[in-house]
Homo-oligomer: A and B are copies of this chain.
Amino acid sequence: MRKSTPTKEKLLDSARNLFWTRGYSNVSVRQITKAAGVDVALVSRYFGSKQGLFEATLAEIPPWEALAADPQDLLGAAVESFSHPFDPEADQANAFTMLLANIIDPEMGDRIKDMVQQGLVAPLSKKIGGARAEERAAMLLAALFGMALMRKNFQVNALAGASKAEIEAQIRHLAAAALGFEG
């Protein structure tokens, strides 16, 4: 019997590529199915709806590496996980660009806010601990997201052309300042 699994995989791949870079509302199911070389109706069949397909791409996201790292090496782990957001192969890192691409979305904005608050800010501030933990967590994420934004979305020349070592030094500099905030 023919298997539906490869078709679902093709749909998921296309959906992830498009949803995560252009945002939910800016992508049509026909674009996705066309890119996947698959019929439009199969989205409803296998994922229920466009929303269901998007939700399926979210279900694949692994927890952020830095949250599992040694607390003393939090900075290193955070920087490391952001040194390859610029490697198009790195799915985990691209999850952050997914948040940037969908936070504005009229249908998914609230969903994204929850993911950031509960999946990033809350566990990160718990890991940081001590005084002003939540502020430091938010500032660290601000630094990381800001650098990702400049590089991937705004494609600023000075950063987009930099080597991994250079970009890592820059991110570490900003991130260290965020963690060192004392008010």
Contact = CB atoms under 8 A, between A and B. Distances in A.
Interface stretch (A47-55, A64-72, A83-91, A141-149): A141-149
A100 B125 CA distance: 25
A134 interface: yes
Interface size grouping (class) on chain A = 35 or more
A170 B181 contact: yes
Interface string A18-56: 000011011000000000000000000000000000000
Contacts of A105: 26
A137 interface: yes
Tallying the copies of this chain within the complex gives 2
A173 B132 CA distance: 14
Nearest to A178: B174
A121 interface: yes
A154 B106 contact: no
A157 to B, nearest CB: 7
Contact of A143 (B104, B143, B166, B176): B143
